[in-house]
Structure 1
Amino acid sequence: MNNASGNLTNDKALHLLQSVFGYPSFRGQQAEIVNHVASGGDALVLMPTGGGKSLCYQIPALVRAGVGVVVSPLIALMQDQVDALAEVGVRAAFLNSTQTFEEANRIERQVRSGELDLLYVAPERLLTPRCLELLQASNIALFAIDEAHCVSQWGHDFRPEYIKLSVLHERFPAVPRIALTATADQQTRDEIAHRLQLDDARKFVSSFDRPNIRYQIVEKANGRKQLLDFIQGEHAGDAGIVYCLSRKKVEETAELLNQNGITALPYHAGMDYKQRSNNQSRFLREDGIVMTATIAFGMGIDKPDVRFVAHLDLPKSIEGYYQETGRAGRDGAPANAWMAYGLQDVVQQRRMIDESEADESFKRVLGVKLDAMLGLCETLACRRVRLLDYFGQGSEPCGNCDTCMQPPVSFDATVAVQKLLSTIYRVDQRFGAGHVIDVLRGSETDKVRQWRHEQLSTFSVGADRSEAEWRAILRQTIALGLVTVDYEAYSALKLSDDARPVLRGAQPVQLRQYQKPVKARRESAKPNGYVESDLSAAEQAIFDKLRWWRVETARKHNVPAYVIFHDATMREIARAQPASLDDLRGVTGVGEKKLETYGAEIVALIAGLA
């Protein structure tokens, strides 16, 4: 492409950004990505949640002739995505299994006749002969493969049908393709590029840092009670997501929160589809709802005001953890990523890997990913530094995570670990954590007396530490690989080969000092350097009135409130106090279509408060 046509593309893209989407300028690498794809280039884009990935394919689709086809696994959210585009004047539709034959036929006619700017389609639908024939008979602007990490068998959200999307390159070699994801380590990036035949595509990797998110991992005592204290203490009335490993735990956690005055809804794959969809819809459309969910929930959720993401169980990998925590604070305002983590989490995740039907090489990869996740939990250094390092990004201590704000104390645990390993050995490596700790602490339980373990030389050698302290030490020795758990022998603790040099005194062990859980206090989650422009009393009155207006407007349009305007846009309107449509034009998030649709109402509303 020559400079003249390149400049024309740049100008058109910027004009669309401003006039359609209402943003004054591109952020980060957006402009470079948009211009590359609009000019016909292939791209692999890694950009954190909330970084503006959607614009990277929506604007090129509008710049180029034809319809942009977005491959997305998010059937439950396609309607909201299409509604949001309709609000800014973009002609969009979707094809998926929720539609009747007549509806699908109507959309197919629009695709053929060039009446659409964007078409969202599930991968299963796209791969059908009917859909591929439709696309070959139509003018296609580009293919966008969203949530591209789903193609990776090593990833945290594998979808088998994604592997077959290489057909797009084979059947439509002249159509540019852009694959996008929020999380992928180097191995996953390489696999995405290889499987989607994007090896020659230009790679765009944005910073993985989300400075507005505060990371906090606490010792698990009573996880659900700790969660309750955390929400009541720091996030009363806020929207949030709580992740649990099992469906039963999801249901029980939602019930506990509701019993304590926190509006919570469950979400998991075992629920009735209609109920699950209703719960998701309420979470998106109403304020202050907490969703308790398995990892089945959240991908593609574009709710900007989620103020916290909590984990009651350890995620399988840092990719999964980062993807899930990234659903907090999409609006750039302060948010919390909180996790309660304990011995049982380590045991449970190790068991899931060992008992899976995967082959040994795949289990090894899962083990390496779990080790990295455990390293993040057990680190004595800044969590953000550890997190970003996993994705190959260097950084300095952030001052906005628990280990920066309250640095953990490390101690020489060599003697304590030797006592633990010796006790496991002397009970013949046949007993679980509870019994081993009872022997260490000198607890003469019926089981200890039954096996005459009160006569062992290690009986009561650890009486100076509490049960919680020993559990923390045991958890860390399992994380370090010194101790394994035999799930076929009633979770018996066994020594690994790595335990030998520790027992001989040839290898010292440094661990985190146990810290007793403390009740969460109501405090700001503002990161260091974050400046919030507080509204004056008059501006706050306008903002509050705008929120009520937005609720009613969203209800009439049957869309989530944030589809009308984000909070950040309404704050800017409150500060600007526009007295005319021209005053409102140029406010971030107010494009021409929204100005035409809502401008007069907003100006009249503000005038009425004067």
Structure 2
Amino acid sequence: MNELDLYASLKKYFGFTQFKGLQEDVIRSILSDKNTFVIMPTGGGKSLCYQLPALMKEGTAIVVSPLIALMKNQVDALRSLSSEEGIAHVLNSSLNKTEVKKVKSDIVSGVTKLLYVAPESLTKEENVDFLNSVTISFVAIDEAHCISEWGHDFRPEYRNLRKIIQRIGDQIPIIGLTATATPKVQEDILKNLGIQDANTFKASFNRPNLYYEIRPKTKNVDTDITRFVKQNEGKSGIIYCLSRKRVEELAQTLQVNGVKAVPYHAGLDAKTRVKHQDMFLMEDADVVVATIAFGMGIDKPDVRFVVHNDIPKSIESYYQETGRAGRDGGEGHCLAFYSYKDIEKLEKFMSGKPVAEQEIGHALLQEVVAFAETSISRRKFILHYFGEEFDNETGEGGDMDDNMRHPKKKYEATDEAVTILKVIKDTNQQYKSKEVVNVLVGNVNALIKSHRTDTQPFFGVGSSQEPTYWMALLRQLLVAGYLRKDIETYGVIKLTEGGLNFLNAPSSFMMTEDHSYKEANDDTIVVNQKGSANAADQNLFALLKAERKKVADKLSLPPFVIFQDPSLEDMSLKYPISLEELSNVHGVGEGKAKKYGTSFVALIKQYVEEHDITRPDDFVVKSTGTNSALKLYIIQSVDRKLPLSDIADAKGLEMPEFIKEMEAIVYSGTKLNIDYWIDEVLDEDQQEEIHEYFLEAETDRIDEAMEEFDGDYDDEELRLYRIKFISQVAN
């Protein structure tokens, strides 16, 4: 094959005049019948690497792919290149007998150049026998990381591919392709496919057009995501969630807020999944809210943002999923919401698995924690994870992440770096990160005790610093190349040659503090578009408190009856300047806005004008209506004087949860007359005593009320009476 043929074929089939990156070298290797291993990030043009040689070579190429969605997408694209419908086919369980017959006929007659199969379809005896009888040009295994249990998407059926390929034909070249693979995963793939002799091509994992950002995940995550999507109106985006339930909820929230969003997960029937995928590809929907089942092989070049509602289970998953943004080289914003509670949840899911699998899972999760909490360059962190060096000063896209745009202070930490390296050396390099930190701060556990490490003079040498400080420094020493994690032993920390040299002749080492997400459940924390956390406007909050006191005094009511503190805090974040906007503030509602809101919105409007404040997009997130249905049921049931315990049982709520729902109703300005229930629980004198207390109290906090009454009333009685009080006095 000469140079002319290769470029003529590229132009003929794909309309391109130039190859991208390593494509040409890979294609030449495949055309020479060599086993070939390709590690190329999403958007690097992996598919063309096997599609072009398949179209040029004699026979049919088998492409093993894990997802029907991926196969369908690529088959459609290939059919658009040729007048022959049969140029590409899928062979899987969704075909009927007539369709299978047509596929086999096209292969025998030489029309079909690419046959897409799931690994399960390859194991079927009749398929193996058939493929053994025809000319196979090569076998390409896409998403090859599925072979490795260290890969983020391990599939046991991928392990048998080598044996099946040998049964189809002895000398068939094997092509392994993956968009993400650490050195350990690469080794697994080559070994399992028996292609250690393969020509290996590894492209840079740097995607300079992608902007990486992590924000704290708060109770307001729906609002944060909806606001972000609205700020990117009309752009294509994918939002990943870990559970199907969350996918449905978030898709509904976006829909009621005017976003063209569709859900996608394995629980939907195949027809709906295909429909939603096509809507996204055809731009009838802007946003897909999906589990990780969506996106592998989805060739949509203009995805402008990828949001992770839940932090992924591994850096590989994160890298591959974010890699679906900006494949055309245009902007790609990768935003993930992080809370350590999500990590704990993922760890619980692992508890039933075999010990080795748990060890792998925990090791991968700790890398995700390190990535989220680090304050160094996120790009540098990712590329280091994949075994690639990156210099922020000279590397392309060096400032494209939140940590680089909003850097944290750096501190001189040379002595502390030496301390860590010495402790790792003196403990014979046998501990993982957590244990190294335990040794430094002097925490004893069974493992440390069994090695008698707690008796050593260096035990507790770093007790003057917090564990989080040492963990941050250790992570930065890893990225700096002074330490490495031994993946075979699930992350035991070892010194590198650079680390030993540093120990012998220390030079200056500067560290930055990790992010802390401890405040992630605070209602008053929001995040602006650039990613920095903003608390409520304290000056406005003070003015609103003064206004509340004025209104309360005028009406002879306690201030909390007018608006609670969280409502004032929300006003100090959202700057509502009309009664309609005020009614959407946390804990207000339409009734309360009309009754008390006029002076508050006038004050806020004046404040906004005087201080030239840009309000957050004049934006309010509507609820999906699921809670509205529950509220309506509660109001109607209370009107009918049904026992509160029966109402709670009917909706599967425990009493504390049910009381919380009633509180939300009355604090939003709707009356709930629960006298019929209160009269059963408290006599007239008791009711009068509690009423007097709330009338004079500075706050409606139940813990303070319980302290005042010194155990005369329990939590439930006081909360129920408070509902009666707010209904009567405030609404």
TM over 0.5: yes
1:227-280 deviation per Cα after TM superposition (whole angstroms, max 9, x unaligned) = 1121122x1111111111111111111111111111111112222332223222
Q: Is 1:387 matched up with 2:346?
A: no
Q: Is 1:345 matched up with 2:345?
A: no
Q: Is 1:206 matched up with 2:240?
A: no
Check conservation: 1:218, 1:517, Cα contact below 8 A. Answer: no
Distance 1:70 1:509 in 2: 47
Question: For 1:248-327, what aligned pairs fall within 5 Å after superposition?
Answer: 248-327=245-324
Match of 1:373 among 368, 373, 393: 368
1:154 matched to which residue of 2?
Answer: 150
Check conservation: 1:374, 1:479, Cα contact below 8 A. Answer: no
Number of equivalences: 440
Check conservation: 1:240, 1:306, Cα contact below 8 A. Answer: yes
Q: Secondary structure at the match of 2:30?
A: helix
Tell me which structure has the larger Cα radius of gyration.
2
Distance 1:219 1:504 in 2: 28
Q: Secondary structure at the match of 1:41?
A: coil
Paired AA for residue 403 in structure 2: T
Paired AA for residue 107 in structure 1: V
1:240 matched to which residue of 2?
Answer: 237
Distance 1:220 1:411 in 2: 28
Match of 1:223 among 208, 221, 224: 221
Q: Is 1:519 matched up with 2:515?
A: no
Cα gap change, 1:183/1:508 in structure 2, threshold over 3 Å: closer, same or farther? closer
1:505 matched to which residue of 2?
Answer: 464
1:587 matched to which residue of 2?
Answer: none
Paired AA for residue 512 in structure 1: D
| Structure 1 residue 61, shift from structure 2 partner | 1.2
Paired AA for residue 102 in structure 1: T
1:433-474 deviation per Cα after TM superposition (whole angstroms, max 9, x unaligned) = xxxxxxxxxxxxxxxxxxxxxxxxxxxxxxxxxxxxxxxxxx
Distance 2:267 2:213 in 1: 30
Match of 2:137 among 123, 130, 141: 141
Check conservation: 1:380, 1:410, Cα contact below 8 A. Answer: no
Paired AA for residue 501 in structure 1: G
1:88 matched to which residue of 2?
Answer: 81
Q: Secondary structure at the match of 1:271?
A: coil
2:403 matched to which residue of 1?
Answer: 403
- Structure 1 stretches of 4+ with a deviation exceeding 4 A read 409-413, 477-483, 494-500, 506-509, 513-516
Q: Name the % identity.
A: 41
1:442 matched to which residue of 2?
Answer: none
| Structure 1 residue 175, shift from structure 2 partner | 1.7
Cα gap change, 1:237/1:364 in structure 2, threshold over 3 Å: closer, same or farther? same
Looking at both structures, which has the greater relative contact order when contacts are Cα pairs under 8 Å and sequence separation is at least 6? 1
> Where does structure 1 lack aligned partners over 5 or more consecutive residues?
1-7, 414-476, 484-493, 523-610
Distance 2:147 2:515 in 1: 41
Paired AA for residue 223 in structure 1: V
Match of 1:18 among 8, 11, 14: 11
Cα gap change, 1:287/1:478 in structure 2, threshold over 3 Å: closer, same or farther? farther
Q: Secondary structure at the match of 1:54?
A: helix
| Worse overlay, 288-297 or 500-509 | 500-509
Paired AA for residue 244 in structure 1: C
Distance 2:447 2:256 in 1: 48
2:187 matched to which residue of 1?
Answer: 190
1:171-229 deviation per Cα after TM superposition (whole angstroms, max 9, x unaligned) = 32322111111011111111111111111111111101111111001122222211112
Q: Secondary structure at the match of 2:293?
A: coil
Distance 1:84 1:347 in 2: 42
Q: Secondary structure at the match of 1:27?
A: coil
Paired AA for residue 68 in structure 2: I
Query: So what's the TM-score if we normalise by structure 1?
Result: 0.68
Distance 1:87 1:273 in 2: 23
| Structure 1 residue 411, shift from structure 2 partner | 8.1
Cα gap change, 1:297/1:189 in structure 2, threshold over 3 Å: closer, same or farther? same
Distance 1:204 1:345 in 2: 36
Q: Is 1:78 matched up with 2:71?
A: yes
Distance 1:15 1:378 in 2: 50
Cα gap change, 1:408/1:220 in structure 2, threshold over 3 Å: closer, same or farther? farther
Q: Secondary structure at the match of 2:336?
A: strand
Paired AA for residue 138 in structure 1: V
> Where does structure 2 lack aligned partners over 5 or more consecutive residues?
393-397, 414-432, 449-453, 470-512, 518-524, 532-731
Cα gap change, 1:14/1:259 in structure 2, threshold over 3 Å: closer, same or farther? same
Check conservation: 1:13, 1:60, Cα contact below 8 A. Answer: no
Check conservation: 1:67, 1:117, Cα contact below 8 A. Answer: yes
2:331 matched to which residue of 1?
Answer: 334
| Structure 1 residue 285, shift from structure 2 partner | 1.9
Paired AA for residue 283 in structure 2: E
Cα gap change, 1:167/1:495 in structure 2, threshold over 3 Å: closer, same or farther? closer
1:504-558 deviation per Cα after TM superposition (whole angstroms, max 9, x unaligned) = 4277753435585433279xxxxxxxxxxxxxxxxxxxxxxxxxxxxxxxxxxxx
Q: Secondary structure at the match of 2:62?
A: strand
| Worse overlay, 321-330 or 55-64 | 55-64
| Structure 1 residue 39, shift from structure 2 partner | 0.8
1:126-182 deviation per Cα after TM superposition (whole angstroms, max 9, x unaligned) = 221111111111111111111111111221112221111102552323221111110
| Structure 1 residue 482, shift from structure 2 partner | 6.4
Query: So what's the TM-score if we normalise by structure 2?
Result: 0.57
